[in-house]
Structure 1
Amino acid sequence: MPHHVTLMPPAPTTRKRRFRAKPLAAVGLSALLLTGCASPGGPAAPAASSSEKSGPKEAGAPTPRLVYTHDAGISVLDATTLKAVGSAELSGFNRLNPAGDGRHVLVSTGDAFRVFDTGAWTEPHGDHSHHYADDPKLTELAFEANKAGHVVRHADKTVLFSDGSGKVETFESSALGDAAVRGKLPATDVYTTAEAHHGVAVELEDGKLLVTLGNDEGRTGIAVLETGKGQERKEIARNEDCPGVHGEAVAAEEAVVVGCENGMLIYKDGAITKVASPDAYGRMGNQAGSEKSPVILGDYKVDKAAELERPTRISLVNTETATLQLVDIGTSYSFRSLGRGPSGEALVLGTDGGLRVIDPLSGAVTSAIPVVAAWEESETWQDPRPTLFVQGSTAFVTEPATQTIHAVDLKTGKVKKSVQLEHVPNELTGVEG
């Protein structure tokens, strides 16, 4: 399944930078949520200077790392200690996508997907593996793109989508590491959609390719292409009952979904099924899936005219029964608030500061973990906001207002560590090392 879902609303024409925290008295969650937030620790240790670099060192276990963007570039943390281990300067608004090899991150910079080396990796060696750690760095390697967009990792393949050209570029996820060490990019397969649009593509276990349909005037649905290479692929299924198609996720049993402005499309077992919204406009444009669950977690918006809607309902689409359940969680959230836990549980970070854990089958909110202070989403989607990223049994949550990152133990339901960062965090992702 894809381990990362790229959530990209249309960019506005103007850019503002702001983050506003609500007074705590305005929060709707319990008093426990207001007072139970972990106090941030001291500032993260500074990254090693160039004079301290000594090359890769072998480690006794994998070294998972976190990567976040900020106004000055990209910074890397040790995911266990939350200490800073390195950084790179990179101007502009940059988006982060794990490359799928456990080591690299692809940085969407507009005209390219640049390869960022987190400096942590594992090399198989017969019946065991060796683990290494080094200084992170922004490499010179880049996949050329015209408006670099979504990156999807699934079935050991990484798929890049260029919004400005419709180019779909696919490579073996594991091949990037070896190629990058040699200063090269891995071999890729390229398919180009009939018309350019803000889209996404997923390669399935059997080699079929799912691509979105659309052009610069609108997006309408999906097509599924047979196994093959490049433009030789033939279309075998299509559904255009999906206005504003956006995002993707994969559930258990190879069920792939995309969101629509009036529901969701499910591709499973060779057929495309539409799950309709109960409202004429009921957008589910951002989704999070899990191989442990047949249910897809999505957002749910009903005001097409809103500059920024602040929904309090989330959608749960069961890909086995093709049914939809809407759940009001009592707080609004943002497109960076959705995640899945290690057992498939649905996770939603609310603007009241609580991380809700939801049973995806019943829709019951089983717990609300106090993590950050109450916050309000900016109308400018590129602005920093509390962001959720899940790695293993730990949910990492950034808090731009206090320049802090929190590590939440999903097994105990408690914040186990909080560290103040050197920069105001924006996007957040990670690698297993």
Structure 2
Amino acid sequence: MLDADGTETDRFESCPPVHGEGVAADEAVLFGCEDGVLTDADGAFAKLESPDEFGRVGDASVTDSSAIAVVDHKDDPDAEGSLLHRVGVVDTASADLDGAQLDVLDLPEGVEWTWRGIGREGEDAAWLRGTDGALHRIDVEAQEITASYPVIEAVHRVDLATGEVVARGEIAGAPNELALAG
């Protein structure tokens, strides 16, 4: 870590393959590691260990107004493909991050997602696009799914406040990912 003059103020070298990053509220920075999450809150590095022997964290889904980051969490180094069945949750405002364990939310049976399959919205909830064809709302503070809206087959636009499908459309070909836009 460097200050405004370029002088090193802190160093952390135990974050095997650094992958992904995000900046949460109050400029709390997160980096994904193969065994947890490296954070920089209040000018000092802290490491949150994965609850699994292998717990690779990649991208962080953050907002400027929430201290809570939602991260992808892969717990099987031999898993084929990019489907995930767990979501990591990091509260960067926690008083004691160093040595703490990364919180992980297990998804319902049959629900998986890709690392691009999550987004945040104005109320700081997370929305996960599951392989079951549904949008799942995650209350990041409670660390639980609070709503699920089935959206299957054709391309749909969903009002996240009500769960109502407000538009449908056909596209040529078969998409492998879709984006959440707010």
Retained in 2: the 8 A contact 1:303–1:309? no
1:85-100 → structure 2 map (5 Å cutoff): none
Aligned counterpart, 1:262 = 35
Aligned counterpart, 1:352 = 132
Higher relative contact order, structure no. (Cα contacts within 8 Å, ≥ 6 residues apart): 1
Distance 1:292 1:225, change over 3 A: same
Determine which of 118, 121, 130 is the counterpart of 1:338: 118
Distance 1:270 1:417, change over 3 A: same
Instruction: State the 1:247 CA deviation.
Output: 0.6
Q: Aligned with 1:235: secondary structure?
A: coil
Identity %: 38
Aligned counterpart, 1:291 = 64
Higher fraction of strand: 1
Instruction: State the 1:423 CA deviation.
Output: 6.2
Write out per-residue CA displacement over residues 111-157 of structure 1, whole angstroms, 9 at most, x where no aligned residue. xxxxxxxxxxxxxxxxxxxxxxxxxxxxxxxxxxxxxxxxxxxxxxx
Q: Does 1:370 align with 2:150?
A: yes
Structure 1 vs Structure 2 CA RMSD: 2.3
Q: Does 1:418 align with 2:131?
A: no
| Residue type at the aligned position of 1:411 | A
Alpha-carbon distance between aligned partners in 2 of 1:430 and 1:357, rounded to the nearest angstrom: 12
TM-score normalised over the length of structure 2? 0.85
Instruction: State the 1:242 CA deviation.
Output: 0.8
Retained in 2: the 8 A contact 1:408–1:415? yes
1:238-317 → structure 2 map (5 Å cutoff): 238-308=11-81, 310-317=83-90
Instruction: State the 1:237 CA deviation.
Output: 2.1
Instruction: State the 1:411 CA deviation.
Output: 1.2
Retained in 2: the 8 A contact 1:291–1:344? no
Write out per-residue CA displacement over residues 371-428 of structure 1, whole angstroms, 9 at most, x where no aligned residue. 124xxxxxxxxxxxxxxxxxxxxxxxxxxxx5x3x22211112221122235655676
Write out per-residue CA displacement over residues 288-329 of structure 1, whole angstroms, 9 at most, x where no aligned residue. 011221111111111112332633211111111135321112
Distance 1:426 1:304, change over 3 A: closer
| Residue type at the aligned position of 1:286 | D
Alpha-carbon distance between aligned partners in 1 of 2:122 and 2:57, rounded to the nearest angstrom: 23
Q: Aligned with 2:16: secondary structure?
A: coil
Distance 1:262 1:254, change over 3 A: same
Aligned counterpart, 1:318 = 91
Q: Aligned with 1:259: secondary structure?
A: strand
Aligned counterpart, 1:381 = none
| Residue type at the aligned position of 1:226 | D
TM-score normalised over the length of structure 1? 0.38
Unmatched 5+ stretches in structure 2: none
Aligned length: 175
| Residue type at the aligned position of 2:56 | R
Greater CA deviation, 353-362 or 285-294?
A: 285-294
| Residue type at the aligned position of 1:225 | L
Q: Does 1:329 align with 2:79?
A: no
Aligned counterpart, 1:225 = 2
Alpha-carbon distance between aligned partners in 2 of 1:240 and 1:357, rounded to the nearest angstrom: 35
Greater radius of gyration (CA)? 1
1:29-428 → structure 2 map (5 Å cutoff): 224-227=1-4, 233-308=6-81, 310-321=83-94, 322=97, 324-330=102-108, 331-373=111-153, 402=154, 404=155, 406-421=156-171, 425=175
Write out per-residue CA displacement over residues 153-190 of structure 1, whole angstroms, 9 at most, x where no aligned residue. xxxxxxxxxxxxxxxxxxxxxxxxxxxxxxxxxxxxxx
| Residue type at the aligned position of 2:134 | G
Alpha-carbon distance between aligned partners in 1 of 2:171 and 2:82, rounded to the nearest angstrom: 30
